[in-house]
Amino acid sequence: MSVRSRHEDGLHTTSLTTAEITALGHLAEGRTRRETATALGVAESTVASYLTRAGTKLLTTGAPATLHAALVASHLPAPNLDGSPLDFSDEERRLWQTFATAPTKTAATAALGLSSKEVSAQLDALMGRVGARNPMHFIALGHAHRVLSRNGPAS
């Protein structure tokens, strides 16, 4: 079984396999690759392969950007949030949105115009504030808190 979506350019049709979607779902819930592999009964390298293949299909590089693209393309259901969304500053929103779409942390650092140390400190603080277990969970929480959305950055 696969889920199909059409890229904005209309030239690419993407199908993610059930295994790729399931792995992304586990990672979005904050599970590690090892925990995801155990839950799926596969090797950790297989989970990494699912991420790489999903990224190729979604035209993304990097696990956080791949998860964000899968959420935007409705391959995964929108994450639910326990309680009300928190309020975030414009800087926190920009950090979250940049991290969600950048292929690497280095690229995010360059896009933000900050040092690697500053970006790491800000990411760590924001991830701690929202209770993100890892970068993939952080992206899912960005959608849950409505900082990230299916229609591009949330305002």
pLDDT of residue 79: 85
Indicate the angle between helix axes 116-130 and 90-101, nearest 10 degrees: 100
Cβ burial 11-21 (10 Å sphere, 16+ → b, else e): eeebebeebbb
Q: Please classify residue 124 by burial: count the beta carbons closer than 10 Å to its beta carbon, then call 0-12 exposed, 13-18 middle and 19+ buried.
A: exposed
- The per-residue pLDDT for 83 is 81
Q: What is the pLDDT of residues 71-111, one digit of tens each?
A: 999 999 888 888 888 999 999 999 999 999 988 888 989 99
User: Residue 104: how many CB atoms within 10 A of its CB?
Assistant: 12
Nearest to 16 by CA among 65, 63, 70, 60: 70
Close Cβ partners of 49 (under 8 Å, ≥ 6 residues apart): none
- Ordered mean pLDDT values, 10 residues apiece, the chain (155 residues): 45 77 96 97 97 94 93 89 88 94 88 93 95 94 89 51
pLDDT value at residue 151: 61
CA-to-CA distance for 79 and 150, rounded, in angstroms? 12
The pLDDT score that the predictor gives to residue 105 is: 84
How far apart (Å, rounded) are the C-alpha atoms in residues 93 and 52? 27
pLDDT of the residue at 68: 94
pTM: 0.85
